[in-house]
Structure 1
Amino acid sequence: MVRITEVQYDQVEKACTELFRAGETVSFAKVYSAIGNRGGQQVVSDMIRRWRQETAATITAKRENTALPEELVAASDNLVEAVWKLALARAEESYQRKLGDLAMNEAEWQVRLEAADEKVAAVERENLLLNGELKEAKATLQAREHSLVELETRLREQQAALAARDHQITALREDLARAMTTLESERTRHDEVLQAVRHQHDESMRQERERHGAELTQVHSQAEADRRHFMQQTDDLRQAHKLQAEPLREQLEGQKVAAESYRKQAYTARDEAARWQGRAEVAQEELAAVKKILAKVQRHREKHVASPTAPPRARGDAP
């Protein structure tokens, strides 16, 4: 691939020729500035080298071409000598100018060095002051380090106290957990006891009600049977009364006695029913007492929940 550059050889050749005719040194910087700062450094340098080779070949053409007359060779040598002297003069002038610039720069740098020496002296004075302040700061730092050591000692003591307090809190929490476990087991035991008492009471009440109902049913059945029997006997007596009044009267008296006996049995059955009613009321009172015990246990449990730091109650204590 052919690389296309931004500068052509004829432009570089023209710039080099103009510099050479003006007595300037044909350098890369001057040529590069003359062509507008275009092209790469290597490309421009190669073109300048090519111009120098071609110029040297043109000047030394006499030694290669013997057909040139002596006058032209002498004229060309004189021209080269003149150009060379002019270039030397321009180079000397440029050298002297650069020497003047260097002298001015040296004076300027001398002034800068003197100013730097003054700054160094000022910095040294500041260093002395800073050293004094540094000593004071070191003394203050030592005092603060001593205070820091004391604070660290106090901190370790406080950390040890906090660790002991944490251990105590942990122990209290474990005691509280054990107390809560004991309270929960006691509550469970009380609930089981109360449940058993309630179940036993309900079973007793059910059995009493069944027995009382069976007895009442039996009494009613007996009373109904007696009533039917009494009615049958009354009918029989009425029929017999027609046949024989006196025996009927006697039998009536006997029936009255039997009726009185039946009435006494009815009264006895009523008293028995009242007795079972009393038992039922006693059972109701016992149930109310059990409910009071439950309420008391509930209040006792709420009291333990509200004050967890209270000591756990022994298993044999009353609720």
Structure 2
Amino acid sequence: MDNPCKIKLMNQGGWKTMASAITYEMVEKACNDLQAAGEKVTYLKIHEHLGQGSTRIVTAHMRRWREAHMTAARAGEDLLFQEWPEALKLRAKSLFDALREVSADAATACIETAQAQMALKEAELRTCVVDAEVQREQALDQLRSEQANSSRLQAELESVRETLDVQRATIDDLLGQRERMVANERALKEHLESVQREHEGHIRELGEQTRVERERLIDEVRKEQERAAGEREHLMRQTDRLRQDYATQVQEFRGKLLAIETKEIKTREQLAEASGLNRERLATIRQFETRVAELSASVEKLQAEAGTLAQTRTGDTARLYALEMQLVLQEKALSRETERANRAEERLQQVTLQRIQAQDSTPDV
């Protein structure tokens, strides 16, 4: 096996070995630097610091450095100060001594402070002991009250137990009742099953009856459909006959309508003649009405004059009597003219009716 401290190189004459480039001084310097920096000296950190070197060589140099460091420590020397000048070493030792004295004074002050704190804590502990005694007495009193409560609760517990016994007996009775109810329920279920079986039998019977009835109804419907088909044919034949009769009647009605239209034309001519006569009669009636209006105006005038005469109370009785007689005569004449006009109107209506009746009674040509 090749030595890891050597590197094989290829030469013209063959292989030759070369010593490792890692020396003890390099490893020692790296260890001192790490220790001065306050870091732990390990192989990985040394290898990282150097950047090269085999494990065996670096480990051997580290072991040698540790042995030298331990030897110097036993001799009272600090390896960090070996390379320092003598004046600097003395200055460093004086600083370390001053720091040691300051540390001792600080430790003494801390001890005194701790003693004072201990005295205060002792006083506090005494106070706590007194408080604890008081609390113990209170706890004893509370314990006595708790014992009394426990006795009372024990009595209540006994009463509760008795109540529980009574309740257990009640529960046993209820369980017996429950068993009886279960038995009754079982009997009811059996009865229900029997009723259901009977009901199913009835349903089957009703289904059979329904099927028979359905078949019967289907037969009746089929017969009814056949009968309806025959009646439909009969109705169609009757409809054809009615259509023929209707056509004949329409022809007859058309002939009658033509005759009626001819008769209506004649009637219209006669009505036109009657209308001429009526217009003449109406003119006469209007003349009579005009005369009646004039007479009414005269009557109103005479009544106004009579009122005037009555109001003024002048004139003689003879003149008033004459005027009254004249008024009576005019009223009679008015009534006669009115009767005459009524008779003329009635005569005109009779003549018109006679002509219409005569035209209606005349046979058609």
Interval of TM-score (by shorter of Structure 1 and Structure 2): 0.3 to 0.5
Computing the radius of gyration from Cα coordinates, the structure with the larger value is 2
TM-score, normalised with respect to structure 1: 0.37
TM-score, normalised with respect to structure 2: 0.33
Higher RCO structure, 1 or 2 (CA under 8 Å, sep 6+): 1
